[in-house]
Structure 1
């Protein structure tokens, strides 16, 4: 551990209180949020059953990204993760841009999560203002993030476990309906719905491309495992184990869950018949299904928002140690929690509350498209950092690596090409085009600040 700190010139003062089970569930909880429960309906509407191909293809690319991150992270386990790695292997400017862009990404994601909470609270309180619920959720998650990291890990562990168990039960229930006709008068539904309503790819490849931005957003947050590195009890063991399970989790929680839902309900009706999760449990005779799933979805959004505040606090802390953020953000409280970074992020998230007040009906798609670009920037940097890291090693050192990126550099190039395709696809839909303008402007602002503040002259 000390070796990694010396190489970065950092003096981290975080508590390594996150155990293996915490990190396993934090990584999964960060990735399974409103992208699956709320955003997937938008993706299905665009691509039809072929959205499964989009989720599977994106899942494979995400797996390669995680392996690329893991190769470097196992050798240099610091809280800044890919930001610190970018600074070391690509230069201080890239580390700065990546750290602040990741912060920006999670701010956008946090806004999406509190928006989803506002939407789903209408199930119980239809007259409750959406912005008021969003504010309450934000204040609650901020308070949670001020506690010791071990307590945060426990909180996130149980939050994530609730939604994981729910998805597994839903998949099992769907299989019972598909194969045995459980809850459907004993008549198996089969899988014909996957191709009998306009075909498997009813909107052609164009529809799949339109869905890809939302699909990629669904995977946003999966790289949070890297941010936990500075507080992992045994980084080499726990981080590798968490990353190894990523691909199978993607298949189970995204591809399989959506596949069984579209087997039971025609894809072109899912957006109109309400939550497919509620409908599945209703079919199984669970009378309180709507209330239960609503609770799970709200819990899911709170969990993802919780992970966002955790990530932004740690990223601002690491940027401060790199002298790429105000020095006061490098302070931690008595529990070794970077409280100031968390508080700053929470204050910025108040913009999300304001947006829910101004334009509650359109805010989700706008925020998610911008956040997706922040995630894709991070993933590109991860892939390139691993390539740069490999160039510093001799063939003998590559052989001795504890955790290798499979088939590098070819899988790096394939993943980079895929991400470039998603960026191009975002230009096809007017709802996601906004990100093509906002994110480049964000980068330009960062670069101007970098040189104006003389950060290029400071040592990281």
Structure 2
């Protein structure tokens, strides 16, 4: 999907969001529907990350009310986004640096333990642990499939890299670098970390009750692992929340610019503050995220997280699928650059990607916590999509 989006941006780097390509190749009706769906998905991602922040803070303050923690973090990070884009970038840099250092430290520690054949209470650290007692779907096929939605949620926002491409001085070079490095970092920080974790801890001994990072550092003899990793994941969740507020505010601003200039929405939210940010759009998006503290007053934090991640995944599946369909239309259009930044193995990879999104969506109906969100996504698509279709039909004369 990233290569598909990258290919479209390479053909027209002036666009600020991939939703623009959906409008161009699938029509303004689908584009407008996608814009609103994507923004709602972003709001729910903000809610999920805010819930995660509260759960991590509870490690140190178990009796402190979660809703107060959520309000504090939301106000602080919304304020960071309101001051200036530069401050957002500075905060994001340090959030990311903490996360990257922790992951690299674990990978280096793991490689050292495996190459030196360190002895742990679970045996020897070795790559052979990955294949020893290998069993396909050891907990059953259902558990394997039911993990897809949560993994899918972990990768939501991967398209954020495309938001500022249009502002780059050399967009063609930046697009290639950004997309390719994103894929490389996935291999390093996700796949690489998983290999190290399973090399040190046999998969039969991994515990779901604590972070695998914590388990690795404990086996390495690092007693403060739990508190340290909890701080790392807290900054990671805060980083994601920071990015979501940034993106949600700008996408709502974009939606406001697309409505008639005499409408209240355009007059209120299609404005840039003196600090150069869409302040009104950011504040409105942040206000909606305040639903999370209200939910935390009546529901367990873990349940709130499951609900909001499920809803956000539903919205994103719709948007990502439409992005892939837009790419297929692009390939058949006169805009197609045969010598551009092409998606590899397009004829095979494109339908497989769309099919995979469909499988993830279907899997939601087999997970009790995600059924409501999945049904809600269908209702949203039929109702809002239908209303948007008839609205656009009225705007376009029948003889055109």
TM above 0.5: yes
Relative distance call for 1:450 and 1:244 in structure 2 (3 A) is: same
How big is the shift at 1:243? Answer: 0.3
Aligned residue in 2 for 1:40: none
Q: Could you tell me which residue of structure 2 aligns to residue 412 of structure 1?
A: 350
Do residues 331 (structure 1) and 271 (structure 2) align?
A: yes
- Partners of 1:197 and 1:266 within 8 A in 2: no
Three-state SS of the structure 1 residue aligned to 2:242 is: helix
Determine whether 1:342 maps to 2:282. Answer: yes
Among 381, 405, 421, the residue aligned to 2:322: 381
**Which residue of 2 is the match for residue 281 of structure 1?**
217
What stretches of structure 1 of length at least 5 have no aligned partner?
Answer: 1-64
Q: Deviations along 1:418-442, whole A, 9 cap, x unmatched?
A: 1111112222221222221121223
How far residue 215 of structure 1 moved from its aligned partner, in angstroms, is 1.5
CA distance in 2, matches of 1:101, 1:186: 47
Aligned partner (choices 318, 334, 337) of residue 398 of structure 1 = 337
How far does residue 367 in structure 1 lie from its aligned partner after superposition? 1.5
How far off its partner does 1:276 sit?
2.2
Provide Cα deviations, 1:255-305, integer angstroms capped at 9, x if missing partner. 221232233335465445522212322333333322221111110001001
Rounded to whole Å, the distance in 2 between the matches of 1:416 and 1:191 is 34
Q: Deviations over 1:35-88 (max 9, x none)?
A: xxxxxxxxxxxxxxxxxxxxxxxxxxxxxx001101111233356512211111
Whether contact under 8 Å (1:183, 1:285) holds in the other structure is no
Q: 2:293 aligns with which of 344, 348, 353?
A: 353
Question: Which residue of structure 1 aligns with residue 177 of structure 2?
Answer: 241
The 10-residue stretch of structure 1 (143-152 or 76-85) with the greater mean CA deviation from structure 2 = 76-85
Cross-structure match for 1:441: 379
* Residue 115 of structure 1, CA deviation: 0.8
RMSD: 2.7
Q: Is the CA contact 2:214–2:226 (under 8 Å) kept in the aligned structure 1? A: yes
8 A Cα contact 2:29 2:389, kept in partner = no
SS at the partner of 1:392? Answer: coil
Q: Provide the C-alpha distance between the structure 1 equivalents of 2:228 and 2:369, rounded to a whole number of angstroms.
A: 31
Contact 1:450 1:456 in 2 (8 A): no
Out of 95, 103, 110, the position equivalent to 1:167 is 103
- After TM superposition, the structure 1 = structure 2 runs for residues 171-190 of structure 1, keeping only pairs within 5 Å, are 171-182=107-118, 184=120, 188-190=124-126
Deviation string 1:153-176 (CA, Å, 9 cap, x unpaired) is 222122112101211111221223
- 2: CA distance, partners of 1:165 / 1:418: 32
Contact 2:49–2:237, Cα closer than 8 Å, also in 1: yes
Given the alignment of the two structures, is residue 147 of structure 1 paired with residue 88 of structure 2, yes or no? no
Match of 1:322 among 238, 258, 262: 258
Instruction: Kindly state the Cα deviation for residue 192 of structure 1 after the two structures are TM-superposed.
Output: 5.2
Determine helix, strand or coil for the equivalent of 1:336: coil
1:126 corresponds, among 53, 56, 62, to 62
Query: Residue 456 and residue 216 in structure 1: after superposition, are their counterparts in 2 closer, same or farther (change >3 A)?
Result: farther
Greater displacement, 352-361 / 175-184: 175-184
Q: 1:85 aligns with which of 21, 34, 50?
A: 21
Name the TM-score, length of structure 2 as normaliser.
0.89
Residue correspondence of structure 1 range 241-320 to structure 2 within 5 A: 241-267=177-203, 270-320=206-256
Higher mean C-alpha deviation, range 347-356 or range 419-428: 419-428
Q: Kindly tell me: are residues 84 and 145 of structure 1, through their superposed partners in 2, closer, same or farther at Cα, counting changes over 3 Å?
A: same
Q: 1:213 aligns with which of 126, 146, 149?
A: 149
1:98 is aligned to 34
- 1:80·1:315 contact (CA, 8 Å) conserved in 2? no
CA shift at 1:233, angstroms?
Answer: 4.7
Q: What is the CA–CA distance in structure 1 between the aligned matches of 2:393 and 2:245, rounded to whole Å?
A: 26
Residue 446 of structure 1: how far off its partner (Å): 2.7
> Matched residue of 1:399: which SS?
coil
1:411 Cα offset (Å): 1.9
Partner Cα distance (2:368, 2:4) in 1: 33
Cα separation, partners in 2 of 1:237 and 1:147, compared to 1, 3 Å: farther
Q: Matched residue pairs, number?
A: 392
Work out the CA distance in 2 between the residues paired with 1:185 and 1:252.
27
**1:309: how far off?**
0.8
Alpha-carbon distance between aligned partners in 2 of 1:354 and 1:455, rounded to the nearest angstrom: 39
